[in-house]
Structure 1
Amino acid sequence: MTGATLQAIRYQRGSLEILDQLLLPHETLYIPISTLALGHDAIKTMKVRGAPAIAIVAALTLAVVIVDPATSSRLVSAKDARQFIEESLEYLKTSRPTAVNLFDAAHKLAKGVQEVAAKDGVSGQDVVNRYLELSERMLEEDVKDNMNIGKFGAQFILDVWKGGDDLRVITHCNTGSLATAGYGTALGIIRALSGQQKLTHAYCTETRPYNQGSRLTAYELVYEKIPSTLITDSMASALLAQNSGKIAAIIVGADRVAANGDTANKIGTYQLAITARYHNVPFIVAAPSTSVDLNIASGKEIHIEVRPDVEVTTLRGPVVELSSISKGASHVEFKKSADQNSGVAAETIAVAARGIGVWNPSFDVTPAELISAIVTEKGVVLKQDGVQQFDMKDFLSSN
């Protein structure tokens, strides 16, 4: 997979492993996915996350299952194979309801299987082979699409930036190699700017309550040696105020884009778009065209996933050696687990008053009016003069 520096998904026919992102950045552990239940759980519990990665892991989970002898021996006829694949895809779709990429991938895979199964004289193995071909192609194409997003997005920012050589950007949540098959979407644009030596600094938000920014995006930025700073979600407006004229763009990803450009993304995206508008900073959405759902007219139709209270009221992380903490220290030591095979010792702690009610939507919807541009692998989508919405259908049909 050319262009991918971090490999969150390891796949070869018959074998799938994913990097457990719940353990990052403190531990690097790949877990095997060999059953539908394991794939579903990995997506639902966010061991893997990011709209493109969710779709790919779901597709490849089924690819592993259908070549397992225990399953393949039951897929003798084309009808049996088609039915099993369709039912499995429906089950995997229930793991995360907001990200449209998962539903788009399931639809395309089911359609491809149905076309083969409808032909005369085909066997169950023919249907299985077609599914394997389609799902494995998704893995390769995602990296190529992300690199194009990076190229188009970087060029757009350079074209509109009037601030000279000091070019800084802000990003939210994680949209890099850990959220895709490789390279990334919003983080792919940052990677492309850095690769061209045009980027001075990147700021990433903490992204509460799941901390994808502090755990994952920060991990990738450090790994790539991109000059970067972590901020809490509530610091973004102050950062823009204190760096007036120095922030070239706020760049985010997307889990679903409506036909008018309204965008569902990680909770906190909407407020970033509002502050970007106030400070006259371009607000850019980066997403593959598979994130665009032309079946919904606006963001009002996007179903928003609400997650468990415990994600807000508790935090989990490695235990710090008190002796390693000093005022202004930039490095601390972690306690080792009593089990020598378990790495660092981790604990879950409460951070909220017992009995308080919790509302924990995983996503919010940013109105198209607040979005400056939507970058896809096909190019940059802009609004027509005087229009507050995007015409995603026209753009996709003409590209």
Structure 2
Amino acid sequence: MADQHAPSPVDAPPSMVPALRWDEPPEGPVLVLLDQTRLPVEEVELVCTDVPALVGAIRTLAVRGAPLLGIAGAYGVALAAARGFDVDDAAQSLAGARPTAVNLGYGVRRALEAYRRALDASGDLASAAAGALAEARRLHREDAEGSAAMGAAGLALLDELLPGGNHRILTHCNTGALVSGGDGTAFAVALAAHRAGRLRRLWVDETRPLLQGARLTAYEAARNGMAYTLLTDSAAGSLFAAGEVDAVLIGADRIAADGSVANKVGSYPLAVLARYHHVPFVVVAPTTTIDPDTADGASIEVEQRPGQEVTEVMAPQTAGAEVGGALPVAPLGTQAYNPAFDITPPELVTALVTEHGALSPVTGSGIADLCARSRPATIG
């Protein structure tokens, strides 16, 4: 069950509402999400009192982004345990909410394992619920720490690849604090460059059809006082041709064992453009995004989104009012091809930046080494 807190105007507080937080009001524990479907017009918190509400929020993209989905999945298991619901059923439902995002299942597994360990040790459901919550909070802290490490490692890599600073970075989709327990992944690198005085321009793809770049990355860039410019996805080629891009930074939703990268659809064309124009193409993601059980890019399940996201656009949100409905932009009955992600092969990736530093070139053996160091959780 979910309800919404009153909206706060975007231009009111200087600091952003947290993308996700655990709360314990008198009525019982809840997971509170910043509803990203309402940004940038207004900041509205969505309160989830059970796992079906959280699954719905994940599927509608009210909460999104690979690292944050892992955190949400862990807190979802803790929520089910604290509320006395069937934890195994909740874990299964959460893990399948979005098939491409490997972090979601990772977070669910970690909290579920902690729940089972505590239950086996004590036989007490309350202790088991506390164990799941502690593990979710631990994952949340780890992600924030990893985000800071990725920001620093990514900036060091940029300075090595592009001596002199004044970086002009092109990014796709949204990879900032809205997808993370910290400053994000790829956006964290751009933000680190900005804070160091070495970011000349952040080029922000709109990221169609749901405009995560226009709605969310531009929102975060403005909040941080960064120099940024928005462009349509189809304008990226002309930007490369004009020599206006020094590096491309993207995140990832799943990285296969061979280094193939699944990210928001539109990423692969940027990799091709970057290779042709001799521009570094850098993927920034925590090691939890690596899936050693997925052999290669062809083995990655790509989520197919509803066709209405392409054939219709939502009317703008206004403060205090509900969404005004969908506006058709194609003839009735038009079929739409709407994959949520595309796959970039490792040979087009200049470097992979994780919390353990930069990997370049991106190879299967290098990926295996990262996996060995990260010790991913598994269900026993």
Q: TM-score, normalised on structure 2?
A: 0.89
Give me the whole-angstrom Cα distance separating, in 2, the residues matched to 1:193 and 1:102. 29
Q: Does 1:176 align with 2:151?
A: no
Instruction: Give the match's secondary structure for 1:133.
Output: helix
**Residue aligning to 1:348:** 326
Structure 1 residues 254 and 165: alpha-carbon distance in aligned structure 2, compared to 1, 3 A threshold: closer
Contact in 1 for aligned 2:75/2:111 (Cα 8 Å): no
**Residue aligning to 2:194:** 194
**Residue aligning to 1:280:** 278
Deviation of 1:308 after TM superposition, in Å, equals 0.5
Instruction: Give the match's secondary structure for 1:293.
Output: coil
Contact in 1 for aligned 2:221/2:228 (Cα 8 Å): yes
Give me the whole-angstrom Cα distance separating, in 1, the residues matched to 2:17 and 2:351. 27
Q: Does 1:357 align with 2:332?
A: no
**Residue aligning to 1:369:** 347
Correspondence for 2:301 among 303, 306, 312: 303
- In structure 2, give the amino acid aligned to 1:59: A
Deviation of 1:142 after TM superposition, in Å, equals 1.2
- For the pair shown, the structure with the greater C-alpha radius of gyration is 1
Deviation of 1:106 after TM superposition, in Å, equals 1.7
Deviation of 1:389 after TM superposition, in Å, equals 5.5
Contact in 1 for aligned 2:91/2:108 (Cα 8 Å): yes
Deviation of 1:398 after TM superposition, in Å, equals 4.9
**Residue aligning to 1:129:** 130
Instruction: Give the match's secondary structure for 1:88.
Output: helix
- In structure 1, give the amino acid aligned to 2:21: R
Contact in 1 for aligned 2:260/2:345 (Cα 8 Å): yes
Q: Does 1:15 align with 2:30?
A: yes
**Residue aligning to 2:231:** 231
Give me the whole-angstrom Cα distance separating, in 1, the residues matched to 2:18 and 2:137. 16
Instruction: Give the match's secondary structure for 2:67.
Output: helix
Deviation of 1:166 after TM superposition, in Å, equals 3.0
Give me the whole-angstrom Cα distance separating, in 1, the residues matched to 2:36 and 2:16. 16
- In structure 1, give the amino acid aligned to 2:254: R
Q: TM-score, normalised on structure 1?
A: 0.85
Correspondence for 2:246 among 245, 248, 258: 248
**Residue aligning to 1:206:** 206
**RMSD, aligned CA:** 2.0
Give me the whole-angstrom Cα distance separating, in 1, the residues matched to 2:80 and 2:158. 43
Instruction: Give the match's secondary structure for 2:203.
Output: strand
Deviation of 1:390 after TM superposition, in Å, equals 5.8
Deviation of 1:193 after TM superposition, in Å, equals 0.6
Structure 1 residues 281 and 85: alpha-carbon distance in aligned structure 2, compared to 1, 3 A threshold: same
Deviation of 1:112 after TM superposition, in Å, equals 2.6
Structure 1 residues 318 and 398: alpha-carbon distance in aligned structure 2, compared to 1, 3 A threshold: closer
- In structure 1, give the amino acid aligned to 2:321: S
Contact in 2 for aligned 1:149/1:375 (Cα 8 Å): yes
> Unpaired runs of 5+ in structure 2?
1-14, 375-380
Structure 1 residues 395 and 52: alpha-carbon distance in aligned structure 2, compared to 1, 3 A threshold: closer
1:152-171 equivalence runs, <5 A: 152-162=153-163, 164-171=164-171
- In structure 1, give the amino acid aligned to 2:135: L
- In structure 2, give the amino acid aligned to 1:188: A
Q: Does 1:86 align with 2:83?
A: no
Give me the whole-angstrom Cα distance separating, in 2, the residues matched to 1:254 and 1:390. 19
Contact in 2 for aligned 1:116/1:122 (Cα 8 Å): yes
1:23-102 equivalence runs, <5 A: 23-68=38-83, 71=84, 84-102=86-104
- 1:43-91: CA deviations, max 9, x gaps? 01111110111121222233234323xx27xxxxxxxxxxx32221111
Instruction: Give the match's secondary structure for 2:173.
Output: coil
Contact in 2 for aligned 1:6/1:177 (Cα 8 Å): no
Structure 1 residues 113 and 11: alpha-carbon distance in aligned structure 2, compared to 1, 3 A threshold: closer
Deviation of 1:6 after TM superposition, in Å, equals 5.0
Give me the whole-angstrom Cα distance separating, in 1, the residues matched to 2:170 and 2:181. 22
- 1:124-160: CA deviations, max 9, x gaps? 2222221111112112221111111111001101111
> Unpaired runs of 5+ in structure 1?
73-83, 320-335
Give me the whole-angstrom Cα distance separating, in 1, the residues matched to 2:22 and 2:328. 37
Deviation of 1:5 after TM superposition, in Å, equals 5.3
Percent identity over the alignment is: 35
Deviation of 1:354 after TM superposition, in Å, equals 2.2
- In structure 2, give the amino acid aligned to 1:171: T
